[in-house]
Amino acid sequence: MNLKLSLFILLLISTFANAQETMSIKGSKPFPATQTYTFICEKYVYTGEANVQIAKTDKGGVLKLSIGTTSDKTKISGGLYVDLANGDVIPCVDKNSNETVDGKTSSYYYFTPAEMVKLKKNDIKGIRFIVTGNSNAFGDQTGYFTASNKMTYFSTAFDKSKKSFDTAAAISAL
């Protein structure tokens, strides 16, 4: 009895240890993905943050960018730019693949296999994107924004801890 309980607990722990994040796009099969990173978006005053997740697909990869909104008419649309730590820029074209669920709007942008190789070698420094929608007095903020790869808003010069996410290592592990 004791052996069966030990084996069951070992199986349960190994299942959780091997659990990996997944991402599915509008009913597609789930793709292996990185964790969802919360990038700082200082100019977007509604939440001040953007959620970023990258998945590996059969034809390259997918970037999911999400922000909180007050209206389902607000969208992340148009092209965006992924700035890498080494100074390279990956432009992404809007394929009009977006969704709004529970007060968050998400857009999906696709990477080629060559762009995924760049992402595996360099951390993402920032993502520049456009928010569109109704711009009335009490609506969501629209315009151009940058989501920066920072873990916190503030730090001191004496803080020597890592201040950004290791996106390249996580993408390489996919």
> Distance between alpha carbon 57 and the CA centroid of its chain, in Å?
15
Residue carrying the six token digits 């999911």: 64
User: Which of 53-62, 76-85, 151-160 is the least confident region?
Assistant: 151-160
Q: What beta strand segments (E) does 3-44 contain?
A: 22-23, 31-32, 37-40
Please list the residues that pair with 121 across neighbouring strands: none
Residue boundaries of the structural domains of the chain: 22-172
Average pLDDT over residues 142-149: 92
Q: What is the largest CA-CA distance in the chain?
A: 67
Using pLDDT thresholds of 50, 70 and 90, give the confidence band for residue 97.
confident
Using pLDDT thresholds of 50, 70 and 90, give the confidence band for residue 25.
confident
Rounded Cα–Cα distance for residues 54 and 116 (Å): 10
CA distances from 98 to 26, 35, 87 (A): 9, 19, 28
Is 118:131 a contact under the CB 8 Å cutoff? no
Phi and psi of 115, rounded to 5°?
-70, -35
Average pLDDT over residues 62-78: 90
User: Which of 7-16, 75-84, 106-115 is the least confident region?
Assistant: 7-16
User: Above 80 in pLDDT, residue 161?
Assistant: no
Phi and psi of 55, rounded to 5°?
-120, 150
Choose between 17 and 26: higher pLDDT: 26
User: Above 70 in pLDDT, residue 49?
Assistant: yes
Topology, domain 22-172: Immunoglobulin-like (2.60.40)
